[in-house]
Amino acid sequence: MSSFKFSRLSHARLTYDAVTPKNLYLHRRQFMAGLGALATAGFASSAFADPLKAVASAYKVDEKLTPKADVTSYNNFYEFGTDKSDPAANSSDYKPLPWKLTIDGLVKQPKEFDMRELIDKMPLEERIYRMRCVEAWSMVIPWIGFPLASLLSQVEPLGSAKYIAFTGVVRPEEMPGQKGLFQVLDWPYVEGLRLD
């Protein structure tokens, strides 16, 4: 089960000049959205086999899309191992269904969503993302999803909420990178964004 947690950091005060410049964090948001596409590229193919219907992107890129075989076989998901090919090689035991999403914390209406129902009821958009990694590789990939704001409007974050935490699932019996003596990351994996 994945979850979002809204929180307010009471012991620290960030000034606007101490944070990542807006143009860089917008690119990070694009990266995170694309990361979701990569995460679901291999796993969702069997779980959500029906094609998704989405509004086509109004924006086009000049570059050719990265072949699907490359997108699904060259990526970082340490839950499955540290090698670029590990997610494709080690994810056969991963069971994406049932996939629940919990949103709680500083919200008016905490909710748990079934991912299939959520995808069926949200207005989906298609986007093309150009990913550039610090490891000197890049990809141009299609992404279908919905804006985070559309999801957040259903739970109504409180005015005091400043951040959102994304917490991944821990299932070492399905994700071999989460077990063993020499862990690369602490599990569950947590990523965060500012709400502004």
Among 48-57, 108-117, 122-131, the range scoring the smallest mean pLDDT is: 48-57
What's the whole-model pTM score? 0.67
- Dihedral-angle region of residue 170 (phi above 0 means left; psi in -120 to 50 means alpha; beta otherwise): beta
pLDDT digits 0-9 by tens, 132-160:
888 888 999 988 999 999 999 999 999 99
Neighbour count for residue 78 (Cβ, 10 Å): 17
Q: What is the structure's pLDDT at 194?
A: 95
Q: How many residues can be counted in the chain?
A: 196
Domain count of the fold of the chain:
1
Q: For residue 62, what are its two tokens?
A: 């000049």
Which residue type occupies 93? D
Residue whose entry in the numeric block shows the structure tokens 């499955």:
80
Range of the domain at 75: 2-194
Can you give the CATH number for the domain in which 130 is found? 3.90.420.10
Q: Is the pLDDT of residue 74 over 50?
A: yes
